[in-house]
Structure 1
Amino acid sequence: MTARPPVAIAVAPNGARLRKADHPALPITPEELAHTATACLAAGAAMIHLHARDEQEGHSLDPGLVRACVAAVEAAVGDRLVIQVTTEAVGLYPPEAQMALVRAVRPEAASVALRELVPDPAAEPEAAKFYAWCQEAGIWLQHILYDRADVLRLKGLVARGVVPEERPSVLYVLGRYSEGQRSAPADLLPFLQAADPVWPWMACAFGAQELDCLMAGALLGGDLRIGFENNRLAPDGTPARSNEAQVAGAASVLAGLGRRPASAAELRQKYLNL
Structure 2
Amino acid sequence: MKMIKPLPKIMVAPNGARRGKQDHPALPITIAETVATAKACVEQGADGLHMHIRDEQGKHTLDAGTYREALNELQNALPELYVQITTEAVSQYSAAQQRKLVKQLMPSAVSISIAEMLSDNEDKEASQFYNWCRDSNISVQHIIYDNDDLKRIEALSLLDKNHSLQLLFVLGRYTKNQQSMPKDLDPFYEWMQDKQNIDWATCAFGLGETECLVEAYKRGGKVRIGFENSLWNRDGSIAKNNAERVAELVKFIT
Q: How far is the alpha carbon of 1:188 from its aligned partner?
A: 0.4
Question: Which moved further from structure 2: 103-112 or 146-155?
Answer: 146-155
Tell me the TM-score normalised to structure 1 length: 0.85
Corresponding residue for residue 157 of structure 2: 158
Contact 2:171/2:205 (<8 A) preserved? yes
Corresponding residue for residue 203 of structure 2: 204
Inter-partner Cα distance in structure 2 for 1:82 and 1:199: 19
Contact 1:40/1:247 (<8 A) preserved? yes
Contact 1:158/1:166 (<8 A) preserved? no
Corresponding residue for residue 191 of structure 2: 194
Contact 1:131/1:164 (<8 A) preserved? no
Q: Output the amino acid matched with 2:71.
A: V
Corresponding residue for residue 70 of structure 1: 71
Give per-residue Cα distances to partners, 1:187-235, cap 9 Å, x unaligned.
1011111232531100000021111110110011100000000001111
3-state DSSP of counterpart to 1:212: helix
3-state DSSP of counterpart to 1:55: coil
Inter-partner Cα distance in structure 2 for 1:194 and 1:67: 36
Q: How far is the alpha carbon of 1:37 from its aligned partner?
A: 1.0
Inter-partner Cα distance in structure 1 for 2:77 and 2:234: 29
Q: How far is the alpha carbon of 1:186 from its aligned partner?
A: 0.7
3-state DSSP of counterpart to 2:152: helix
Give per-residue Cα distances to partners, 1:74-103, cap 9 Å, x unaligned.
11100x211000100000000011111111
Inter-partner Cα distance in structure 2 for 1:156 and 1:192: 19
Corresponding residue for residue 173 of structure 2: 176
Give per-residue Cα distances to partners, 1:125-170, cap 9 Å, x unaligned.
11112111111211100000001221122123126x8x89743100
Among all aligned residue pairs of Structure 1 and Structure 2, give the percentage whose two residues are the same amino acid.
42
Corresponding residue for residue 259 of structure 1: none
3-state DSSP of counterpart to 1:152: helix
Contact 1:185/1:216 (<8 A) preserved? yes
Corresponding residue for residue 33 of structure 1: 34
Contact 2:211/2:234 (<8 A) preserved? no
Structure 2: runs of 5+ lacking an equivalent? 1-7
Tell me the TM-score normalised to structure 2 length: 0.92
Inter-partner Cα distance in structure 1 for 2:132 and 2:156: 16
Contact 1:51/1:59 (<8 A) preserved? yes
Q: Output the amino acid matched with 2:164.
A: R
Inter-partner Cα distance in structure 2 for 1:41 and 1:156: 37
Corresponding residue for residue 24 of structure 1: 25
Corresponding residue for residue 182 of structure 2: 185
Corresponding residue for residue 48 of structure 1: 49
3-state DSSP of counterpart to 1:208: helix
Contact 2:210/2:233 (<8 A) preserved? no
3-state DSSP of counterpart to 2:156: helix
Give per-residue Cα distances to partners, 1:37-88, cap 9 Å, x unaligned.
111111111110000101111000010111111111111100x211000100
Corresponding residue for residue 253 of structure 1: 252
Give per-residue Cα distances to partners, 1:231-269, cap 9 Å, x unaligned.
0111111110111111111111112xxxxxxxxxxxxxx
Inter-partner Cα distance in structure 1 for 2:174 and 2:162: 27
2:162 is aligned with 1:134: no
Contact 2:89/2:98 (<8 A) preserved? yes
Contact 1:182/1:208 (<8 A) preserved? yes
2:219 is aligned with 1:223: no
3-state DSSP of counterpart to 1:209: helix
